[in-house]
Amino acid sequence: MSKAPALKKKSKHGEFQPSPEAEEAVREVKAGLERTLASFMAGVGALCRTYDAKLREALPHNPKAHFFEDLDRAGSPPSSPLLKRPPRAEGSSMSPLALAASPGKGALPAGGDFPPAPLQLPPADNRDRLLAQLRILKIEARGLVNTFEQIHDWIALNVPTLGDESAGPGVEVMGVVISNVSDLTGVIKAVYGLEGKYLGDRVEIEAKLARHPECPSYDRAMAVNDSNAWDEVEKAWRSIIRACLLVHSLLAKNMKILMDPKRSKHRDHSSFM
């Protein structure tokens, strides 16, 4: 039986050092991670434009969007293009608050009972668009999380030996960047659960509606659930764009240190890319 090559060997100082095979494997992994990093840094503009297009596609179908229309007309338009809202699309669902509007509101009939409020549920095609947006969000979020995790690992593999006095303040900077990238990765991971939460809430409401078809509150609850889901879609796209911009900014400002923390205090760095 052949003996497997050792991954580590003992140095003359009594410390364990990686074997040449292990070092070669690490170099190959780092090269792949660095390609992902370079691709993200070069393509972040196109990536954010893609996400912004998806955001603008979702905005007209958000029932809460019309609340901002009067504010936009009353004041100055937002300076950021990400905050500007396009006109509402035809057939977009109404606000949950509009569902409670009744022609007889304010005048109670004899006996003190409220008259039944007319229901205006979102059209089925709007719900199909909502599900499509939630699926696209999950796919894009998974891809971005994979990219962020590879960037995280690339930085971690560049961290010098702990206790190495020649590393200087670069190690501390790397730790801060790693922490921030991890936090933003967690924000994007939260997008994974939006589709499941929406469908779970909807199934629960539909089950109650099937047991009590005479109760209009469950119809309203379904409309509110759709409205809230569209709102979450909008916030999720904005969070993804924000995370991309913040990670890019962190990397761009600290790239020299991240690439070589031991030389971070020297001025003769070669810039990344």
Other CB atoms within a 10 A radius of the CB of residue 47 amount to 21
Q: List the beta strands (DSSP E) in the chain.
A: 8-10, 16-18
Burial of 159 per CB tally in 10 Å (0-12, 13-18, 19+): middle
- The rounded distance, in Å, linking the Cα atoms of 233 and 230 is 5
**pLDDT above 50 (res 267):** no
Over residues 39-57, the mean pLDDT reads: 96
Over residues 25-41, the mean pLDDT reads: 94
**pLDDT above 80 (res 216):** yes
- The rounded distance, in Å, linking the Cα atoms of 60 and 68 is 12
User: Would you say 219 and 165 are in contact if contact means Cβ atoms under 8 Å apart?
Assistant: no
- Per-chain mean pLDDT for the chain: 78
Over residues 184-202, the mean pLDDT reads: 94
- The rounded distance, in Å, linking the Cα atoms of 273 and 145 is 23
Read off the pLDDT of residues 66-97 as tens digits, 9 standing for 90 and up: 655 555 555 555 555 555 555 555 555 444 44
**pLDDT above 50 (res 270):** no
118 phi-psi bin (left φ>0, alpha ψ -120 to 50, beta other)? beta
User: Would you say 60 and 88 are in contact if contact means Cβ atoms under 8 Å apart?
Assistant: yes
Q: What does the block give as tokens for 205?
A: 């409401």
Which has the closest alpha carbon to 158: 40, 43, 20, 37?
37
Task: Give the range among 106-120, 122-136, 146-160 with minimum mean pLDDT.
Answer: 106-120
Those residues with Cβ within 8 angstroms of residue 205's Cβ, 6 or more apart along the chain or in another chain: 218, 221, 222, 225
Over residues 224-244, the mean pLDDT reads: 95
Highest mean pLDDT among 94-98, 120-124, 231-235: 231-235
Exposure string for 3-39, b = 16+ CB within 10 A, e = fewer: eeeeeeeeeeeeeeeeeeeeeeeeeeeeeebbebbee
Which has the closest alpha carbon to 147: 67, 268, 7, 39?
39
Q: What's the confidence (pLDDT) of residue 26?
A: 86
**Domain ranges for the chain:** 30-63+121-265
Q: What's the confidence (pLDDT) of residue 34?
A: 95
CATH superfamily, region 30-63+121-265: Proteasome activator pa28, C-terminal domain (1.20.120.180)
User: Would you say 223 and 122 are in contact if contact means Cβ atoms under 8 Å apart?
Assistant: yes
Residue 169: pLDDT band by 50, 70, 90 thresholds?
confident
**pLDDT above 60 (res 118):** no
pTM confidence score: 0.70
Task: Give 17's strand partners.
Answer: 9
